[in-house]
Amino acid sequence: MMKYKNSSPGIVVDRVITAQANSNIALVKYWGKRSIGEDCSDESLNLPANSSLSITFGDELSTITSIVFSEKLNEDEFYLNDKKIDLGEKEIQERFIVLSKLRGIAGTKLRARVVSRNFVPTASGFGSSASGMAALTFAAAKALGLGVETSRLSEIARIGSGSACRSLFGGFVEWKRGNESDGRDSVAKQLYQEGYWPELRLIVTALENPKKSISSRAGMRQTAKTSRLYKERIIGAEENVEALKAALREKDFEKVGEITMQDTMMMHAVMLDTRPPIMYLNDVSRETINTIEELNRKEGRIVAAYTYDAGPNAVILTLDKDFDKVMEALRKINGISKLIVPGIGRGARVLDESQSLIDPNTLLPLPGE
């Protein structure tokens, strides 16, 4: 890990800092970490086998996190959506390494109270780890007074959740694979701001029953160990990032759509090729794919493109001029409970005190509305 310069005025003890970060959807996906060896010194660094490229959602799909470092605290505390979370749980522990890393950089042992609220609509099925880890990293770095550039912070957020490093930025974001074994060059960078392509629209299909079968962390490990197609996928994904960057530069929707659909299906093919197979898509997902393919065939051009992460909900890309047509086709699908239309959003930012989730006087969590 690179050395950080603490050029800040220092830790703001007993002062609450609140930050917001939005979730993101990868058009070229990350599925698989590098294994220990030449280009990875530690698996917990979350170093990806391939680069990826995403769009940051609007505030509709986001997390707000307040944090306070205090001498009055004997241990870290975490409240999520008004519930106290056990920090002893393995998955939470792995994510909270982010706090220890930042504390190490700041040279402090102070404990923190963290209060988060996820604004990810129920049943959207979208994991909140990207927005959650980005908001936590950003808020904690500010509270610790670390004068660290956002791209460097993405190195820390990545450790909590790979996709979180992309959520520190708004708009169109690339996460470079990097080559260094300590991960210092595996960071996210913004390609274009959120207003770059105003005609581009996103639609999220929220399914009635979006059960998740296996965590992405465990799934990726399994794929790297057992899939024979995986090697091919790594090469393909890297090519897709380059092709997608060119298509985005030209704002060529058909090319963007084609690459997006191919990439998601390639990732799900590798998941199916894993032992035991990982199946995130269900009948409604497959019907959605068929609906979009049929619409594109009928129109004789790509009017919409689908992409699926580690779950059955689609994110559909389309352009303003075709939006109504695409919505009409999606409304006919049984099993979709809601169509959410998020904007393309900003990167992580600090919010003002009025949005704090922690009482500034008592330092206790404020109850939700």
Can you give the binding site for ligand PMV, defined by CB under 6 A? 26, 29-31, 52, 129-130, 161-163, 216, 309-310
Q: Which of 177, 171, 191 has its CA nearest to residue 348?
A: 171
Query: Nearest 5°: CA angle at 162, between 312 and 224?
Result: 75
Query: Which is closer to ligand PMV, CB of 129 or CB of 137?
Result: 129
The distance of closest approach from Cβ of residue 266 to ligand PMV in the complex, given in angstroms and rounded to an integer, is 12
Query: Which is closer to ligand PMV, CB of 224 or CB of 357?
Result: 224
DSSP reduced 3-state for 151: helix
The distance of closest approach from Cβ of residue 80 to ligand PMV in the complex, given in angstroms and rounded to an integer, is 16
The distance of closest approach from Cβ of residue 233 to ligand PMV in the complex, given in angstroms and rounded to an integer, is 12
Query: Which is closer to ligand PMV, CB of 62 or CB of 296?
Result: 62
The distance of closest approach from Cβ of residue 343 to ligand PMV in the complex, given in angstroms and rounded to an integer, is 19
The distance of closest approach from Cβ of residue 133 to ligand PMV in the complex, given in angstroms and rounded to an integer, is 8
Residues 6+ apart with CB under 8 A from 80: 116, 117, 118
Residue with tokens 């959207």: 124
Q: 67 pairs with which residues across the strands?
A: 17, 114
Query: Which is closer to ligand PMV, CB of 156 or CB of 310?
Result: 310
Query: Which is closer to ligand PMV, CB of 26 or CB of 106?
Result: 26
Residue type at 120 in one-letter notation: V
Strands 111-119, 62-70: pairing kind: antiparallel
Within 13 Å, how many C-alpha atoms sit on residue 172's CB side?
Answer: 19
Query: Which is closer to ligand PMV, CB of 4 or CB of 31?
Result: 31
Distance, first Cα to last Cα, the chain: 41
Q: Which of 117, 217, 91 has its CA nearest to residue 163?
A: 217
Residue with tokens 């975490």: 78
The distance of closest approach from Cβ of residue 47 to ligand PMV in the complex, given in angstroms and rounded to an integer, is 11
